[in-house]
Structure 1
Amino acid sequence: MTTRSFSIPELAAAQAQKHVTVNEALRVIDAAMNLVVASRAVTDPPIEPGEGEKYIPANPATGIWSSHENEIAAFVNGQWRFFSPEVGWRAFDQATAKLAIWDGADWTDFAGGGTQPLLGINTVADATNRLAVKSDAVLFSHDDVTPGTGDMRFVINKAAVGNTASLLFQTGYSGRGEVGLAGSDALELKASADGATFDDVLTLDPVSHTLRFTLDGSERARVSAEGYFGIGTSSPLERLHVNGTARMSEIWTEQGIAIGGDNTPADFWGSGGNAALFFNKGFLGTNGSFATSLFSNGHRNNAGSFTFLGVAGITDTASGIDLYPDGAIWFRGGAAVGTTILPRMIIDASGNVGIATTSPSDTLSVNGTVGISGGTTNIVLSLESTDGRCGLALSDVSTTGPFQVLIEALGDDMILSAGGAARLTLGSNGSLTAGGVYTMTTASAANVNVASDGLLRRSTSSAKYKDDIREMTAPERDVLKALRPVSYLSTCEGDDPKRRHFGLIAEEVFEAAPSLVHLGADGSPEGVMYDRIVPHLIAGQQTHETSIAELRGRVEALEAA
C-alpha cells in the first residue's frame, strides 16, 4: 500500500526488514517536499548528475527521460527515479528563479493573485489615490522576460465622453499642466497658473480632424483637415489664411497669398497710411493717390500731384514697374536721375508700346536704333486674316504722313513699294518683276544677264574685259552652218501654249558650239545665248560680201571681154 499524494510505501504488519520500506519512504519525502529543481528546460539527462539532483524534463525528453516529460526526475542512489506530480505541487526552478505550480496539464509560473484595494509604494495610498508611489523615477518597460510583444502601452480609461482621462503635472501638489481627454474625446494640452483655472492651449479634435491653438481663453490659430493654417479665423481657406494685420520681414510663396474678406482689402501700411491694398479676388491696388509699383533698391515717394518710383539715399541703380490709374504701365531702370529712375519702356492706356519714349503714337514706337542678333533671328509680322497686307514701312519723316518705302507681304509674294507704288515683286517661285524697268529704257546701258544661279550680271563688250583678241577662224565663222532653226510650241509657264515660236535647240547648239549655250545648275544645256550668235552672223556677212565683190569683178571682166 502507498499513500495517496506522494505514493509513500506503508509498513505492513509483521513486515520483515522494515528499515527498507522506511528508507524508501524517506527518499520519496526528500524528493517531493520543498521541491527544488535545477531546470524545467532540459530535454537530455545530464551526463554526470549529482546525487539528489532533480529536474522537470522538458518536451520532448530523450534517453532515460523519454516519456517522463513534466514529471519529477530525481537522481537517487546512482539512478533516476520519476515521480508524477499532483495538482497543486510547487517547484522552485533554479534556472529561472521562479516558482512553478502544476495545474494538472503544465507547470506555470506562480503569479500573485487576487486584488488589493490600496497599494502604496514608499508612501500611503488613500481612497482617492489607490495607487501611490514616492520615487525619483518610475520605469515601465516592455516584457522581455516572457517574452512579450516588445510593446509598452500605458492605458488610462474613462467611463464616458464627458469624463476625464489625463496626465496632470503639478508643482507642490498644485496642477500646472494637463494632457489628455478632458471632458471630451479631443486630445488637449492645458496649462494653469494657480492649479484651479486651466487654459486650453492645444486641442486635437478626432471628429473634425482639426488642430486648434488657444491662448487666454480665445482661439488664436487652427489647422484644418485639409492642412490649411488659419490665424484669426476658424475656417482657413488657404495654406496660410490670416484674418487681420500681418507683419513680416520676408515672405516666400510658390502659390499665392489670399488676404482680406469679401470686398474688403488688406492694407499694407507705410508712413503715409495704407499705400497698397490686396483684395481677396486677386487684385493688387493702391488707395487711389498712388501708382502701384514693384521696385528694387528704392522706395515710393510722393512729390506734389505726381506719383512715381522714388529713390532715397541711392547713388547706384534701381528698377521698377509702375501701374498708373489711367491704365498705363511704366517700366523703369538704370541710374538714378535726382530721386527718380527714368522710364525705359511704357504701355499707354491705348495699348501703344513706347521704348525710350513716353509718348508712343503707334502700336510700337522706338526712339533709337533697333538691333537684332543671334544665330537664327527673325522678325515675324503677321495678320489675323489674309484679306490685307502686312509689311514694314520705312520713312525719314514723321510717321503721320505717307510712308516713303514699304516692304510688305501679299500671300507668299514680297512687294517693295516706293513713291506710293509697287516697284519690285519677288514671287514665291523665285520670279523677280520690276514694273518700271520695262518702260524705263536707255540706248547706252549694257545688257543685263541672268546666270544659272539666278544672279543678275551686266553684259559688257569693252576691250578692258578681253584678252587674247584675234580674228575668227574659218571653222568658227562657219559654225552657224551646223545649226538647225526650228519652230515649236513653248511649255514654259510664262508663255502662251498655243503660240508658235522660232529658235534653236540648246542641246543641238551645244554639240556644235558649246560657247553659244547657257548651262543650267546641273551642267546640262539650258538656253541658247542668241547675243553671241551675232559675231558669227557678222563674220558670215563679211565673208559673203567679200565673195560677192569677187564675183562682181569677175562678171564685169567677162562683160568687158
Structure 2
Amino acid sequence: MSHFTQKLGLPVMSSSQAQKHVTHNEALTILDSLVQLGLVSRSLEAPPTDPQDGSCYLVAGEGAGVWEGRGSTIAHWQSPMWTYFQPRAGWISWIADEELLLVFDGDAWRSFPGTFGSLGINAAADELNRLAVGGAASLFDGREGGHSLKVNKAASAASANVVWQTGYSGRAELGLLGSDDLQLKVSADGNTWENAITVDRISGNVGLGRSPGAARLEVSGGIRNSSSFSPYLQLANTGPSGAQAWIGIPDWNRSAFYIYGSVSDIMTMYDTPTRSHRLYGGGSERIRIASGGDVGIGTSSPTARLHVAGAIRAGSYLKAALPSAATVGAGTLAYVSDAAGGAQFAYSDGTQWLKMRDGNPV
C-alpha cells in the first residue's frame, strides 16, 4: 500500500504508526492548501518578503532564492517553511492579482477554459445551438467604450442572421439571407416567409416587398400614411434652386398636392368638401372641376362642360397635315391656315373636315 494518496499526495497513516496526529495534521494542511485552490500571484520568481500563512503562489520562470528550481510548482507558506506541490491535469485555480481563472492541462496553466464545445447558461446547449441562454434578458456591455456583435458566414450563399420566434417557430429574421444584401423577412407559421425589406449592399437602395431597383426606394404595393395631424409626403430638392413637393391632407376635409418654389405656390390641387378639384398656379386658382364634372378655366363657377373665361386658341394646321377626321371623331375643331376661301376653323363630322363658314370640305 502506498503511503500517499494518488491525486493530492496526502500522507496516509499506517495501522501501527505512532503519533498519528502528525500525519493527520499534515494531510489537513495539504487539503487546506489545494482544495478550492487560490493563488495570490503567478508573476513572482522569488518568494515575497512577508507571506501570509496559508497563502499559495505559482512560481514563475525557474524560480529564485529559496524557490530556485521550483518553477511552475505551487509554493505554499505555512510558517516557518515553504511546501511545494506539483500540479496535475485538471487542477483549477483563481489568480487573485489578475482576477483570472486558470486550468492546468498537464503541461501548462491556461485560461479557463481554452474553448468550449458548447455552453448552456440556465439552458441546455446542443450540437446545433452551441450557446444557449435561458432568462429574461442578456446584456453585452461596452462599459465606457463601444460594443460590436458580429455574425459571420463562410460564403455569400450561406446565411448570417438573427431569428425571432414564438413557441420556437420563426416569425421574423434579419440578416444576410443567402446573399450579401440585408434582408428582413416575416412568417406567419415558420415555414413560408415573405420578404419585407431588402437593402442592396452596393448602392444602399431599398426595396419594400421587392428587390431594390435604380431608385433609392422602390415599393411593390400601396403606401398609406395615417396621422391624427396633417399627414403628408414631402419631396424636396435641396439644391440651391430646388423646389419642394408636398402631397398631403391640410385638414380633415380636403386633400392637396402642392409644389412650392422659393416664395409662392407653383401648383396646388384640392379636394374640398364640395368635391370640386382646383388647380393653382402662381398662388391663384387657374382651373376648377366642379362636382358635377363641369370644367372652368379662369372661372371658379363653370356653367358648361367646358367654361373658359378668356380667349381660346386652337392649333394651326395645313390641310395636308390635318389628322384623320374619323380618328379624332365628330365635333373636333381645328384651325386650317390654307383652307379654300381663306384661313378659318374647320370641324370633323366623323368622316371628313368641313369649313365652319359654309360647311363645305376644306
Question: Under a length normalisation based on structure 1, what TM-score does the superposition of the two structures give?
Answer: 0.32
Higher helix share: 1
Larger RCO (CA under 8 A, 6+ residues apart) = 2
Between structure 1 and structure 2, the one with the greater Rg is 1
